[in-house]
Structure 1
Amino acid sequence: MYKIIENTYIGEDMYQMKVQGEFKGRMGQFYMLRAWDNYPTLSRPISIHDIDENSITFLYKVVGEGTKIFSRLTPGDNIKLEGPYGNGYQKVEGKVALVGGGIGVAPLYLVAKNIPNSDSYLGFRNEPILIDKYEEVCNNVKTAVGSTFVTDIINTEEYDYILTCGPTPMMKALMDKVKKTNAEKGTNTRVMVSLENRMACGMGACLVCTCKTQGGNKKTCKDGPVFWGEDVIF
C-alpha cells in the first residue's frame, strides 16, 4: 500500500492523484489501482501521467463506482498500486505532434517531457484543463473545445510522427486523415495510438481487452496499449 499525497479535482470530471513512493514506468504504460477490499471486484487501469524519484501521478475521470471511490480519497489515505504494465510509446525523432481527447490527454504529459519540442493538440468537452502545465513542456499547445474536433485543428502533413490517445472515434478520424493526406501529398506521417479498451486483469490472462489488428487479435493490456496506428483495425 502507498500513501496519497494529492487528490485534486481539475475539471471535466477529472482528478489528479499523486502517490508517494519510488516507482518505475515509461510513457504510455499504466498501473492497476485499487482502494477497496472486495467491491468493486476489479482494480482500475490508469495510465501514468507523470513520475519522478519520489512519486507517481495519475489523471482519472469519474465514470463508475471505482473512480468514484478514488475521488473521495484524501491525502494520507492508502491505495494499492500494481505495475507498470503494457507497452508504451516509442521515443521517436523528427517533428512530433501529440493529440489527446478528454482523459486521453493524461499519458501525453509524460510523453511531452520525454520528447522535447513536440506540439500538443488537446480536445475537451467543455473547458480546457492543465494547459499551463503542457505549455511548460511543449513547443506549442492548441486546444479544441465543444463542437470543434481536435482532429480538425492539426495539419498532419507537418509531422513525422503523431502520438495519440483518446476516444476510439477520435483516433479513427485521425488515422483516416493521416492516410488520406499521405496518399494525396506523398507524406509519410506515422501514428502511434494508445487504446482505451476495457481491462480486467492488466496482464493478458482474461482476454477482456482484446483488439483487432492486421496481425490478428491482440491483448491491449499486454501487447499494447500503444500500437502503430496502421496495424489497428478500428
Structure 2
Amino acid sequence: MTPERPLVDKHILVTRPRGQAGSFIDKIEAAGGMVHFVPLIAFRSFADRRERDRLQQLCTYDWIILTSKNGVDFFFKRLEEMGAARTTIKARFAAIGTETAAVLKGYGFQADYIPKKFSADQFAKEIKEGSFEAKKVLIPKGNLARTLIAEALRREGMIADEWIVYETYFPEEEKKHLVDLLQTEKTDVITFTSPSSVRHFMKAVEEAGSHTIGQTVVACIGPVTKKEADHFGFHTPICPDVYTSESLAEAIIRYFRKEEE
C-alpha cells in the first residue's frame, strides 16, 4: 500500500446501476481497490397517467426542475416516445448537481439554477428563502422520488406539477450474484448511491438468510442514503459533503489513507 494507492487489498462492492458506475469504478481501481460490481437498481421508462396533460401544458411552464441524471434521460426519452419536439420547451431549467447539469447540456439545454448543495432538501431550503422563484414548474422524476421540492414550491404560492417519467426496480438476476459474493468474498466497503439500493441489498440478504456483513464499512453518496443505511444498523462513516460519485470515491480513498497514517 502507498499513499497514492491506499485501497490496495481492499474489496469494494459497487451497487450503482449499469451505465452509471464507470468513472466511479475507474477511480477506485486507480487507487488500488478490487471492485465487485453488483448493480442493485435498474430503471425503465414509465407511462404516467397524467403525462398527456403534462405534455399538452409543456409550453406553459417557466421552469423545469430535474433532480437526477435519470430524470434528464427519461424526460427526453418520454418526449421522444410521445412524438414531442424539444423545441416546444420554452422553460428554463434547474438541476440538482453538476452531474445532472452536465447530462442536461448533452441534450442542448443549460441549467440556469443549481442549488448550493446537491440535494432536494437544500433546494427546498432555497425556495423557502426566496432564492428560487417561478410561476409554474414541471418536475420530471422517478416513482420513488420524494415530493419535497413540489411541496416547498406550493407553500410559496407557485404551481408545481410532477411527472413520473421512470421507475426504479430490483434486477432479480443480481440477487443471487450478491448473496454468493457476500458468502464467498471478503468485502471491506459497501457503497450505496440511493436509498432504494440499500433496501434492495437488505431484501436480498434477508431472503437468503445471510448474516455475513459484520462490521463492513458502508459508504453513502449523501445524507438521505446514509439515513436509510443507518436505519438498517450499518456502520456508515463515509458520506461526502458533495453528493456526487466522484466525491464518494474520493471520500473512500481519504478514509483508508487516514487509517494508515
Structure (1 or 2) with the greater strand fraction = 1
TM-score interval for Structure 1 and Structure 2 normalised by the shorter chain: 0.3 to 0.5
Q: TM-score, length-normalised on structure 2?
A: 0.34
Q: TM-score, length-normalised on structure 1?
A: 0.37
Answer 1 or 2: higher relative contact order, Cα 8 Å, separation at least 6: 2
Larger radius of gyration: 2
Structure (1 or 2) with the greater helix fraction = 2
